[in-house]
Chain A
């Protein structure tokens, strides 16, 4: 395969690497917190 399709050009991300990393870490932190809460709720549900 030597040819690629012509596609719409994707605009460059205007954010700095630090902003992207901070945004990703926030989402990761929230996901982990939600996971801890879920495991706690599962434990309660299984005891009931």
Chain B
């Protein structure tokens, strides 16, 4: 079990008190702005693709609350995992492991962001999207970060649900109720997350192994991880086309989804059927799949919104 102050590291955060006051740029860095850009985008797509209309100010507020909630949850994640982050090359330069920010400030900042996002969403937009936002924050910061991540290699499968909430919240902010379409959008991101993350985990495996996080390549091995990436890519093909088949979107989205998911499947086949050739292997197919998976989600959701405006 790990958590704030439970591990011994040589990181500055646990060896010396922070001499300088917290800089606002470090507080922003705590919210993982690059991850939030994807959260904002999928939330906005859910909001724009939903049938109905929302006042622009309330729509802006809904997206702001989704971003603040995601940022708060990300800050809670960094607060909890500061010692682990210090041990991984990819995360060692974050504000907490570097000692540029003290843990109490980080925790309080995260708490305020989460609380304000939920109450502002409830006050401005509605209490159903606010409740779903609260569940997503709890899901990411407690179910994923504290409970699943250190315990099971399936952490990213179940924890992926946290990132799947934004389009659902965006949709419900407009319609006021949950239907099959936003649940499908949730499912698309849910099933997209494991192959996206495992492609990354395949080429940063040594980092996760070093800090004892049971990521799939560390626990089940590379071969099993590659097969599972392939299985999820196969599942994504019919799943992304499902909104078209149930009549929720038009042919523009449907054909775009089939083409995009077909390419995703091809790249996954390359990863799924190969083996690491040795220490000199630069893992190019895995890096290509990871990069494409980000582009894939952006273009897929953009096609969803474009289709909605074509249908109008």
List residues of A whose CB falls within 8 A of some B CB.
1-8, 10, 13, 17, 20-21, 23-24, 27-28, 38, 41-42, 44-46, 48
Contact = CB atoms under 8 A, between A and B. Distances in A.
Interface string B17-57: 00111111001000000000000000000000000000101
Given A13-B23, A20-B23, 17 more contacts: A1-B8, A1-B211, A1-B212, A2-B9, A5-B89, A5-B210, A7-B89, A7-B92, A7-B93, A10-B98, A24-B24, A28-B24, A38-B57, A42-B57, A45-B58, A46-B124, A48-B55
Contact of A4 (B87, B123, B212): B87
B58 A4 contact: no
A12 to B, nearest CB: 9
Contacts, number: 70
A41 B57 contact: yes
B61 A4 contact: no
Contacts of B92: 4-5, 7
Contacts of B61: 38, 42
Contact of B93 (A8, A42, A45, A48): A8
B151 to A, nearest CB: 17
